């Protein structure tokens, strides 16, 4: 009986470790995606400002 309980407990521990590791990988992946998205948004803002700059200069 004790052997079965040990096996069940070890399976539960392995499952929890797997879940925690999956969560860690997922959060790392999302952080990387977030950084990429911020870079893209910043690039877009810069390009938008550059595209507006000649218009502003032409008005003056």
On whether the pTM is more than 0.85, the answer is no
Q: What is the pLDDT of residue 34?
A: 85
Sequence ranges of the domains in the chain:
1-30
What is the mean pLDDT of the segment spanning 48-56?
75
Q: Render pLDDT for 6-44 as a digit per residue (tens, 0 to 9).
A: 999 999 999 999 999 999 988 888 888 888 888 888 998
Phi/psi-derived region of residue 53, left when phi > 0, alpha when psi is between -120 and 50, beta in every other case: alpha
Q: What is the CA radius of gyration of the chain?
A: 26
Q: What is the pLDDT of residue 15?
A: 96
Model confidence at 53, pLDDT cuts 50, 70, 90, reads: confident
């Amino acid at each position: 009986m004790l052997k079965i309980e040990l096996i069940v407990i070890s399976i539960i521990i392995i499952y929890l470790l797997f879940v925690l590791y999956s969560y860690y990988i997922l959060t790392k992946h999302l952080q990387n995606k977030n950084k990429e998205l911020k870079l893209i948004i910043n690039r877009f803002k810069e390009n938008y400002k550059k595209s507006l700059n000649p218009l502003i200069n032409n008005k003056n």
